[in-house]
Amino acid sequence: MFNAQWSMTNGGIMPYNKLNISGAKADVFSWVDHGLSRQEQDMLRNVSRLPCLYKHVALMPDAHLGIGSMVGSVIATKDAVIPATVGVDIGCFTGDTLVPLLDGKSYPIGELAKRNDEFVVYACTDLGKVVAAKASANKTRKDAEIVKVTLDNGEEIRCTPDHKFMLRDGNFCEAKDLKADNSLMPLYRKKDKDGYVLVQQNYSGHWQRAHWIVGRSGLLGKIPKFFDDKTVIHHKNFDEADNCPENLEFMSSSAHSAYHRSLIERNEHWQSEEFEAKRKEALSNKAQTSEGHAFYAERGTKNILKYMEENPEHFKDAVAGNGERGKEFLIAYNKSEKGRAKSKEIANRLYECETCGEKVKSGIGLHNHRRWKHGYNHKVVSVEPIEVREDVYCLTVPEYHNFALEAGVFVHNCGMMAVKTPFKSGILDGKLKELRHNIERTIPVGFNWHKDPVNESSRWEAWSDFDELHEGVQDRKVKAMKQLGTLGGGNHFVEVCIDTEDRVWLMLHSGSRGIGNEIAKRHIETAKTLHRLNELPDPSLAYFVKGTAEFRAYWRDLKWAQGYAMKNREVMMKRLLNQFNRMFNKGNRFAPEIEVNCHHNYVAEETHYGEDVYVTRKGAINAEMGRYGIIPGSMGAKSFIIKGQGKPESFNSCSHGAGRKMSRTKAKKHFTKRDLERQTEGVECRKDKGVIDEIPGAYKDIDKVMKNQNDLVEVVAELKQVVCVKG
């Protein structure tokens, strides 16, 4: 017996319904608006009878048949996990964690999450170049498990065990896996004599002014060139520490000087003896710094060259015999007792290391000491679990995927894999086919993979843990390394889309390739051996119990596989952005306005209804309040960028797409190549028999799916594909 009973509240009918399934032992809350087949009801009944099930089953509007349980179902379990999916959530920081912004101040990350606008943070490339980047903050998890990471500079960082820290070599490591003396990518800052903020570039050791980091990061637009004049950056509010893009302006050096002279004329204080004395002192102090010395040396060189050009005869007379006169004095001084003593003193002069206080002989010796002993970084002292649990927060930092903490280290941001570009659709005119072919050349699809591992794969730190994975996958390492940065087949895709405001988006969908599937299959087979015959309503629902060796092994492996899936998406998006920028942005990088990267088919530790549970989202994504997500349609239909509404009955979840209404086998029999061409008209994509099973007609109506879950999500952007790459 099966029927739907609409749930009621004092305000009227809720958007979901409660299914009455004969023999079910737990409630099933459904956002599906159509009847379910007998086989689908059987799956729901089986899941409802699991002894480890918590509360109820939630069924998303894209739900359809799967293996063991329906795709589109959200299952919470108590002290157990069902190894039918692979994944892990992303870590974050406690609300009091300080984040330095380019305005010269540091703010608690929890306070930043209350803002409704973007701000600018320090980020770092994998080669150690510190840049400025736009970011936004969100609360990402409630009542989360916490660890304390202590650094050698005395700073303590409280975060979730799975949050990733940037190592000195540009790779990332989860907090719980950090070891004492691990070297982290640092953020060193100081102020010069003029009050300007200086930042040490980790790839070179050189100090750079923060306002020029902002300028060279593209946040002020293209850097202008002025004929026979120097380009400078003016601080509009005269606060040299405030390097927000809104406070900075490119000017020519002469225009900048003229502006300040005009202010002097309107301000008697600036004409006073007191101000003049301070001005001369500031110029003198500036000349003592390496940057000031270089500036005056450059200016002096230009003046001398100009003088030489305009007064050649006078210059020749002025310098006649200089070398001869100086030569004899220099030789005599070097041979004298005073000269020898001075040379010896310079050679043995000690320089103090600002990091550890050790005194090192010579400037070159200090440089080598910093490089080899400290590597320009902070080191980990310890990682300790903390008894208390707290709400945690994180930043979204488009393009760079990391940000600096006030503690002086860089950490990973929460991930997503759709990018909103600053470009209008007109740039794509006449270029769609070329763009698709360039994407296919740089990102292998289907059964193809890279001939050799890409650089990002070779440098990925998680390969060091591969030997600890299930013995059944140990022969897959070389192949897995070559597959990192590849798309695969099925419903995986790379797309270029246009939103309703005519803006271009880049989007991709992929997973952990073959290695993730192999890991899952091995553990599913293990789980089946742990249950007696007829103990489970379906062998595919075999589960691991928390605290057992099998549970620990599975949890370790699924976290590794989810990390592989995320790294795979990051590598592909980087390659996609490179191709896009090469074709449409003269090879320059742009700062994305929005970026999204959401998991589906994964398990996460979460708190629901006041209890700690494991939530399995099979063909569903996290729709926690304020969290960004992607809900793609099919290769000829719309897709949506959303923010979650945090619905408790759905365990803070929503659909991961339109959902199939027809199996792949049935679709191949039902549709023709001509159908595919007609249904994908206007989209640059494959239109051959090999992708007929992905035809839009085999999927549910995405508009209807979105309507059925309007209580679960808020639509941020509506997208339409113009390029679709499939395997």
Q: Is 152 exposed, middle or buried (0-12, 13-18, 19+ CB in 10 A)?
A: middle
The catalytically annotated residue of 256, 470, 656, 670 is 656
Q: Is 656 a catalytic residue?
A: yes
Residue of 486, 493, 489 whose CA lies nearest to 450: 486
Residue 484 neighbours by CB under 8 Å, 6+ apart: 450, 453, 454, 456, 457, 460, 513, 564, 567, 568, 571
Structure tokens belonging to residue 668: 């191949």
Partners of 106 in the β-ladder: 100
What's the rounded Cα separation, in Å, for the pair 568 and 481? 10
User: What strand order describes the sheet that includes 602-608?
Assistant: 2-9, 12-21, 27-30, 53-64, 71-77, 611-618, 602-608
Q: Which residues contact 594 (CB under 8 A, 6 or more apart)?
A: 398, 418, 419, 420, 628, 641, 716, 717
Q: Which amino acid makes up residue 353? A: C
CA distance 173 to 482: 21
In which residue are the tokens 């339109």 written? Answer: 658
Nearest to 1 by CA among 24, 32, 18: 24
Phi, psi (degrees; rounded to nearest 5) at 276? -60, -40
Q: Report the candidate in 384, 415, 379 with the shortest Cα–Cα distance to residue 145.
A: 384
| CA-wise closest residue to 137 among 125, 119, 157, 155 | 119
Q: What is the dihedral of CA 58, 59, 65, 70, to 10 degrees?
A: -10
- How far apart are alpha carbons 672 and 705 in whole angstroms? 25
Active site residues: 656
